[in-house]
Amino acid sequence: MSERVADHLAGQKDAILDRLLTLIRFPSVSTDPAFAEGMRGAREFLLDRLRAMGLTEARLLEPATPVPGGQPAIFAAWTGAGPDKPTIMIYGHYDVQPADPYELWTTPPFEPAIRDGRIYARGASDVKGSTTIAIETVGAFLAVEGGCPVNIKLFLEGEEEIGSPSLPAIIAAHRDLLRADAMLSADGGGAAGPRPQLNIGCRGICALQFSLRTAKKDAHSGKVGGAMRNALHEMAKLVATLHDEQGRVAVEGFEAGVPPLSNTIRAEAASLPLDEAAWYAEFGAAPYGDPAYSVRERTTLRPTVEVNGMWGGYTGAGGKTVTPAEAHAKLTMRLIPGQEPEVAQAAVKAHIERHAPKGVELSFDYRPGGTRAFTLAADHPLRAAAAAVLRREKGGEPAVTRLGGTVPITTLFQEQLGISSLMFGLASPDEDAHAPNEFFRVASLEEGLRLWPMILTELGRMRAADFQGR
């Protein structure tokens, strides 16, 4: 049955690619209110498509009470497989990261351009490409077979790139509607590429922005220079204390309660070899990081504190002889299993407060909490289904891998709805997600349109009861 569906999808490839490009053209940047129109356009396009495919209950899900900065999720269902068959939540997101710096893009970020088999655009890889694969697979089952092998609940988030501020409230308001046996995520890569991979975990995340003030106003550097704290010097000194010379996080209490990595986990990380020299060469960067760990471990099994943005003083053309009174920094922390977001945030905040000298006034701006790291249990049916699919499609035992990034939904759905997730996205790690010239491979689109029919078919061989208590 999955072959007929895959054949149908292969025949529809041009139309599917067209729909993907249309979706990409909506600049759905969730973090910036200036892009509200792009968000709305993406939502309407997707709802129209889901209804046209024959899904029911296609609608927006919102919290009972609006959450500042929140974005509605898109929901749709097909429940014709019957109560004995598992109900699979399919997850994707329709929002994207900001595209700036725009001047580093070869072609405009929201005007997709195909070059050398790659679709260049913001959101192509993260994650409109894989989301389109998931949606179109469901549509093809309905069109060709008149039904899916499993019951489907589609959930497309609109705030993945901003830490899902209203997602817990959306889940709370629609708990019954969102009941499912397991989740298959179009976000979180690993399925693409020559070597089969089973992506079974991701790092968590929390964020913290802070500002510091050294005087009530900027002053002329000729007048005060030498006798007044410069906010940029103080910011530099504070940020410099966050890591040691080898890039290890130097924040006391940041890893409180985290056990050392087990041999099993380290062996899993080693099972997919990484050419570290090639990895660094691809980014044009020099080797860096804690020498006690491999690059794969550093980027998936170790936590980070990263300054994503830092600014203050005069940054325009020419110069300005000012002693700045204010400086700002945006930080995010990647978390590993065992780390509590609140504890990690509090540790970083306390570190900054402890290192700020008298005369430096700090102010913090952050949403308490964040997302814990996620791991799919070793004996979960999703693992077996995905491994079978990957074995068949690619040959050989899939490597067990983890994502260095964060898919908050995996943690949230586990904690809030008791369902586990498998990340089955088609994005590859080299596709410059979150950076200029992000792209998605046309070949990955094609591969996804083969793999997704297979995994839904595989899950359709299982019973709903197989997922009880997982």
Q: Given candidates 114, 261, 295, 346, which one binds a second copy under the rule CB under 8 A?
A: 295
> How does strand 399-403 pair with strand 370-371?
unpaired
406 binds a second copy (CB under 8 A): yes
Q: Beta-carbon neighbour count of residue 168 at 10 Å?
A: 16
Q: Beta-carbon neighbour count of residue 11 at 10 Å?
A: 11
Stretch that binds a second copy, among 7-15, 20-28, 234-242, 372-380 (CB under 8 A): 234-242
Q: How far apart are CA 443 and CA 448, in angstroms?
A: 8
Q: Beta-carbon neighbour count of residue 339 at 10 Å?
A: 24
Q: How far apart are CA 367 and CA 291, in angstroms?
A: 33
Smallest distance from a second copy to CB 467, Å: 28
Smallest distance from a second copy to CB 24, Å: 18
Token pair listed for 449: 């349109």
Q: Given candidates 196, 324, 398, 448, which one binds a second copy under the rule CB under 8 A?
A: 324
Q: Given candidates 65, 146, 176, 217, which one binds a second copy under the rule CB under 8 A?
A: 217
Q: How far apart are CA 267 and CA 371, in angstroms?
A: 26
Q: Is 209 helix (H, G, I), strand (E, B) or coil?
A: strand
Residues 103-132 that bind a second copy (CB under 8 A): 104, 126
Q: How far apart are CA 334 and CA 362, in angstroms?
A: 23
Residues 431-450 that bind a second copy (CB under 8 A): 432-437
Q: Given candidates 175, 179, 314, 354, which one binds a second copy under the rule CB under 8 A?
A: 314
Q: Given candidates 83, 259, 319, 396, which one binds a second copy under the rule CB under 8 A?
A: 319
Smallest distance from a second copy to CB 355, Å: 11
Q: Which is nearer to a second copy, 254 or 467 (CB)?
A: 254
Residues 340-359 that bind a second copy (CB under 8 A): 357-359
Q: Given candidates 237, 354, 461, 463, which one binds a second copy under the rule CB under 8 A?
A: 237
Residues 151-170 that bind a second copy (CB under 8 A): 162-163
278 binds a second copy (CB under 8 A): no
285 binds a second copy (CB under 8 A): yes
Residues 68-97 that bind a second copy (CB under 8 A): 69, 97
Burial call 44-61: b when 16+ CB within 10 Å, e when fewer: ebbbebbeebbbeebbeb
Residue reference for tokens 């060709």: 144
Q: Given candidates 80, 108, 247, 337, which one binds a second copy under the rule CB under 8 A?
A: 247
Site string for a second copy, 24-43 (x = CB under 8 A): ------xxxx----------
Full 3-state SS string of 37-97: HHHHHHHHHHHHHHHHHCCEEEEEECCCCCCCCCCCEEEEEECCCCCCCCEEEEEEECCEC
